[in-house]
Amino acid sequence: MRILVTAGPTREYLDDVRYISNASSGRMGYAIAQAILDSGHEVVLVSGPVSLTPPVGVEFHAVESTEQMMHTCQELFPHCDGVIAAAAVCDYKPHRRIEGKMSKTGSPISLEMIETDDVLAALGKQKDSHWILGFALEAQNERENALQKLRRKNCNWIVLNRPEAIASEENSVELLDETGTTIASWSGTKTHVAEQLVEWLNQNASKPGHSR
């Protein structure tokens, strides 16, 4: 298989030096990319800014903004068998980016925010015979929110994890299908979780009935 993997955070700039982002380290996505390579498959890795070195052997595409990630993934996805969307994409961006650098005025400032492009939903719209595995990081109504995300974004499966996973070496996840059933769960280092996830995909991603 040839698998697209997204990893890391995205950045949305307020001005030329300040940006909104999150604490995603990219470790989960990079571990998944390595596990896919170790299984003998091809990997196309689209990554936001992280301090990690891409695994040797991947086709690597570095991006910064959510818009860049979406456009890059839309171009690459048709040439892959499926996607594992592990990136922690910014949900909001400033309505207007200020040129130069904002200076202190001694007074409060207000920022108008708008939603960013939905990378996973965009891929879901061009799914065809591909499979899609999304990630949902949830802190409240975890299973319900993850299931809604799966259905809204046209995923085959979704990995539910929690805020404790951010920037951590370890993770504890559940894999949900379209019915909301937990079909697998793994805990341990992100390397171990990635290996278990890829092993599961090796056995299930190409089976009939998992693409719609």
pLDDT digits (tens, 9 = 90+) for 67-103: 999 999 999 999 999 999 999 999 999 999 999 998 8
103 inside domain: no
Residues carrying an active site annotation: 22
Average per-residue pLDDT for the chain: 92
Q: pTM to 2 decimals?
A: 0.91
120 inside domain: yes
Residue 129 CB: number of other CB atoms within 10 A? Answer: 8
Q: Could you give the CA distance from residue 103 to residue 85 in angstroms, rounded to a whole number?
A: 37
144 inside domain: yes
Question: Chain centroid to CA 135: how far?
Answer: 6
What's the pLDDT score for residue 166?
Answer: 77
Q: Kindly report, residue by residue over 99-148, the tens digit of the pLDDT.
A: 999 888 889 988 899 999 999 999 999 988 899 999 998 878 888 899 99
Is the pLDDT at 176 greater than 60, yes or no? Answer: yes
What's the pLDDT score for residue 164?
Answer: 79
Is the pLDDT at 208 greater than 50, yes or no? Answer: no
47 inside domain: yes
Question: Which DSSP helix (H) or strand (E) runs through 110?
Answer: none
What's the pLDDT score for residue 162?
Answer: 82
101 inside domain: no
Number of independent structural domains in the chain: 1
184 inside domain: yes
Q: How confident is the model at residue 212 (pLDDT cuts 50, 70, 90)?
A: very low
What's the pLDDT score for residue 73?
Answer: 97
Average pLDDT rounded to a whole number, residues 179-186: 92
Average pLDDT rounded to a whole number, residues 14-22: 93
108 inside domain: no
Beta strands in the chain (DSSP E): 2-7, 12-13, 19-20, 42-47, 59-62, 82-85, 92-94, 113-115, 131-137, 157-161, 170-176, 182-189
Residue numbers of the domain that contains 9: 2-93+113-204
100 inside domain: no
* CATH of residue 154: 3.40.50.10300
Q: Could you give the CA distance from residue 149 to residue 33 in angstroms, rounded to a whole number?
A: 23
Average pLDDT rounded to a whole number, residues 191-203: 96
